[in-house]
Chains A and B, each alone.
Chain A
Amino acid sequence: MSKKPADKKIIITNKIRTLRFFANEMTQLELAEKAGASRQTIMALEAYKYTPSLELAFRIADVFGVPIGEVFEYIKKEENKNA
């Protein structure tokens, strides 16, 4: 039987740190200002402690001039309910 979408845990990762490095070592503060977020949010994103809204995700991708898929990616993890 196929699993419902709710049975799959989605982990969203990002490459913000790498993209900042290639964007002439852009600081978290600069990225925060350009994306309209706080520096704490950028720190939380880089530590995978926060999943941004679609709007913020697009704004971050726009700062780096890349498609959203190059900044964020999601990994589907099957949850073992019997465990």
Chain B
Amino acid sequence: MSYNSKKTVVSMATGILLAVIYIIYALGDRAPAPDDVKAWAVAMLIFIGIGVTAMIVIMVLFHIAFAIGIAVKENDCDDKEVERIVKSSMVEDERDKLIERKSTHIEHTFVGMGLIAALIALACAMSIVAAVHIMLGATIGGMLIGGCQNIYYHERGV
């Protein structure tokens, strides 16, 4: 598995973990009342903040682990050679940009569909909180689908 695929897997795993934690919170006793839009908005903002911070920390740890993994794998090479391999693996070239563009496209499509679903939910007299959760779900779903496509293109070719 290439560096980009591993990075995407770690990113997706972090996203899934955060989504599970949020679902546990949302279904638990500490969750705000179903009609308390302000409290839900605050809770979501806090989770987004935690998510961004967690993603940065996990990515830093991933890069350290990746470099150690290469150093262990290439134990007959010197430090400069290992550094060279690590740097080369992290180069983002035209193929990576093309894959990123394609996976982002499907991600945006999914999020757009979520927005429409949320509007339909509102039109069907569902609560604002439900509509916001549909959009949140679509964003997470879009991220996962985009990630899967990213891995597919990196491993199977674009």
Contact = CB atoms under 8 A, between A and B. Distances in A.
B93 A38 contact: yes
> B-side binding surface: helix, strand, loop or mixed?
helix
A33 B91 CA distance: 9
B88 A41 contact: no
Interface stretch (B22-30, B111-119, B150-158): B150-158
B89 A39 contact: yes
A13 to B, nearest CB: 14
Contact of B89 (A38, A53, A56): A38
Contact of A47 (B4, B154, B157): B157
B84 A29 contact: yes
B40 interface: no
A48 B20 CA distance: 40
A48 B157 CA distance: 8
B157 A37 contact: no
A50 B93 contact: no
Contacts of A40: 2-4, 89, 95, 154
A44 interface: yes
Interface string A31-58: 0110011111100100111101101100
Given A36-B93, A38-B96, A56-B94, A50 B158 contact: yes
B92 interface: yes
B50 interface: no
A38 B157 CA distance: 14
Contact of B88 (A32, A47, A56): A32
A53 B94 CA distance: 8
B85 interface: yes
B158 A49 contact: yes
Interface of B: 2-4, 84-85, 88-89, 91-96, 154, 156-158
Interface of A: 29, 32-33, 36-41, 44, 47-50, 52-53, 55-56
Nearest 9 interchain pairs by C-beta: A49-B157, A38-B91, A37-B93, A41-B95, A40-B2, A38-B93, A39-B88, A41-B93, A53-B94
